[in-house]
Amino acid sequence: MRLIATLLFLLVPILGVWTFWIAPEHGWWFPKSVSSYGADIDRLFYIILWMVGITFVATEVILAWCIFRYGRKDPSKAAFTHGNHTLEMVWTAVPAVLLLFIAFSQMKVWADVKFGDSFPKDGRFTIDEPIGEVWASQFDWRVRYPDEDGNLEGADVIEKAFEFTVPLGEPVVFNLRSRDVLHSFFVPNFRLKQDAVPGMVIPVWFQADEPGEYDLICAELCGWGHYKMAGRVRVLPADEYDAWLAAEREALYANGTEELEEDE
């Protein structure tokens, strides 16, 4: 049993590290990061991965070693000790310092992503003049772009279902809202997640640095259809985005005119 147990407990760190090692090449790993702060978040993840990885291997190997070494049949008694004060101080102080290091190294990125004060201020879209609103409801995403005066009420508001079109390479700020229950705006490629709460208007920002289409996923249980609340974020180069928005406006006006004509 001693050798079986040693093997079993030794396999934990070996296979544990191996699984993490091979995961990226099989795609069982982060989807590509395409947002300005995605790389920062990934970097923090890797710092912690190294720190916990080393601790994991060290402790698991010591455990397996103890099982191997002290599991032998031995008629003598175990060492009669109740502890060691110095050792306790060391293994309290060292992790304390490391953990504080981890904690403090997180703060800047957190503030950059979530603090209203640190939202980008120079671009077209700011916390006071967002690109628009994203409304979540069972089981639907609605993106609303304000009219040319910046109003979000009235007939000239562009409303798109399940599709959030944004310009490339500039900070995009929007207000996240919910009509009914909790939802969560999650774009894995942006490393961005924020719950939508009914009754709250939550400003969110990101900057997409690569054009393309990305999955928008609801990440907070919102009912039976939660799994299919799939939206898309379309990132277009700034000029294409402007052209798209202009075309949408045009179409909206045209529809409006037609309707008016019909009414007459």
Partner 1 sequence: MSSPTTRELPLGIDDPGTVHVTHEHHELGFIRKYIFSTDHKVIGIQFMFTGLLFLVLGGLMAMAIRWQLAWPWTEMPAVLGFLFPETGRVVSPEAYTMLFTMHGTIMIFFVIIPLLTGAYGNFLIPLQTGAPDMAFPKLNMLGYWFMVPAAFCAIAGFFTEGGAAAAGWTAYPPLSTIESAAPGSLSGQTWWLLALTFVGVSSMMGAVNYVTTIVKMRAPGMTLMRMPLSIWGLFIAALLQLFALPVLTAASIMQLLDRTLHTGFFTPTNLIVNNVGAETVGAAAGGQPLLWQHLFWFYSHPAVYIMVVPAMGFASDIIATHARKPIFGYKPMVYSMAGIAGLGFIVWGHHMFTSGMNPMVGMTFMVSTIMIALPSAVKVFNWLGTLWDSRIRFTTPMLFALGFVSMFIIGGLSGIWMASTPVDIYIHDTYIVVSHFHYVVFAGSVFAIFAAIYHWFPKMFGRVMNETLGKFHFVGTFIFTNCVFYMMHQIGIAGLMRRTADPYSYETYQHLQPLNEVISISAFLLFAWQAFFVVNFFHSLFFGKRVGRNPWNASSLEWDAPSPPGHGNFDKELTVYRGPYEYGSPEVEEDFLPQTRKLETKQTV
Question: Looking only at residues 59 through 88 of this chain, which bind partner 1 when binding is defined by CB under 8 A?
Answer: 59-60, 62-63, 66-67, 70-71, 74, 76-84, 87-88
Closest separation in Å from C-beta 248 to partner 1: 25
190: CB partners within 8 A, 6+ apart: 33, 34, 35, 38, 206, 208, 214, 233
Nearer to partner 1, 168 or 233 (CB): 233
Closest separation in Å from C-beta 142 to partner 1: 13
| Residue of 95, 150, 237, 256 that binds partner 1 (CB under 8 A) | 95
245: CB partners within 8 A, 6+ apart: 145, 158, 165
Nearer to partner 1, 31 or 120 (CB): 31
Task: Give me 108's structure tokens.
Answer: 């800047």
Count of residues that bind partner 1 according to CB under 8 A: 95
Nearer to partner 1, 232 or 249 (CB): 232
Does position 238 interact with partner 1 (CB under 8 A)? The reply is no
CA 237 to centroid of chain Cα atoms: 23
Closest separation in Å from C-beta 186 to partner 1: 7
Of the listed pieces 89-97, 128-136, 141-149, 233-241, which binds partner 1 according to CB under 8 A?
89-97
Integer angstrom CA distances of residue 152 from 3, 48, 157: 70, 43, 6
Dihedral sign from CA coordinates of 92, 14, 49, 194? negative
Closest separation in Å from C-beta 87 to partner 1: 7
Does position 110 interact with partner 1 (CB under 8 A)? The reply is yes
Of the listed pieces 128-136, 161-169, 194-202, 243-251, which binds partner 1 according to CB under 8 A?
194-202
* Separation of alpha carbons 32 and 113, rounded Å: 18
Closest separation in Å from C-beta 78 to partner 1: 4
Binding mask 139-178 for partner 1 (x = CB under 8 A): ----------------------------------------
Of the listed pieces 154-162, 217-225, 241-249, 253-261, which binds partner 1 according to CB under 8 A?
217-225
Closest separation in Å from C-beta 218 to partner 1: 8
Question: Strand 231-236 and strand 192-196: pairing?
Answer: unpaired
**Widest CA span in the chain:** 104
Integer angstrom CA distances of residue 158 from 102, 142, 249: 44, 10, 7
* Separation of alpha carbons 127 and 130, rounded Å: 6
